[in-house]
Structure 1
C-alpha cells in the first residue's frame, strides 16, 4: 500500500503573474521618470540657448541640435517611451496607462526645482487631481 501525502500545491502560474505585474509596474514608473525628466532637460537646453544670442528654434534655428543637454533629454524621452512599450507586455493596460500620468507629476516637481518655475494654486490643484485620479483608478481595480 502506497502512502500518498497531499502536499499543498503552489500555483507557479500565479507567482509568475505577480512577478510580471511587478516588472510592469517598475517599467512603467521608470518610464515616467525618464519622460518627466526629458522635458526638463530639453527646456534647460533651450533656455541656455536663448541666453546666448543664437536664433531660437521657433525662428528656424537649429542650435539646440549641437547641445548635448538637449540630446540627453531627447534620448531620455525615447528610453522612457521604449520602457513604457515593454511595460505593456508585463502588466495590463489598465495599470500601465494611468502610471503614465506620473510623468506629468514628475515634470511638475522637477520644473519647480530646476527651472525655478512657480506652481500656482490652480496648477497645484490640477496636479493633485491628476494624482487622485491615478490613486482612484488603482484602488478601484483592487476591489
Structure 2
C-alpha cells in the first residue's frame, strides 16, 4: 500500500504545508502524471483543485516531466530538474524517475490552482 508526503503550496499566500497521506487517499495519486489535477479532498482540502508539480522517490531522485512512465532513467543533463551546472557547458549523467506517480515515490509536490485552501485546518493552528 502506498503512502506519500504531499507538500501543498498556495501561490496566492505563499504558504506551504506537508501532509502525510496513506490508504485510499494515497491511491488517488497512483497512476497520475505531473501536470494532472487532483481533488484536494485527498489531503483534507475539500473544495480545492490541486496540480501535481513535482516530487521525488524514496532515494531522493527527482521526478522529471519530460520522462514518460514511472521507471528510472539515466539522462545526460545540461540543467533543469535534477542538476544545477556550476559552469557553462557542464553536463552530467543523472538518474531520474519518470513523471508517473508510483509506489516508489515518497514525496509529491502540489499547488492549489482552484478553490480556497484552509491551511489552518490542516495544521491545527488557530491563528
TM-score (norm 2): 0.24
Greater Rg by CA: 1
Structure in which a larger fraction of residues adopt helix: 1
TM-score (norm 1): 0.22
Structure in which a larger fraction of residues adopt strand: 2
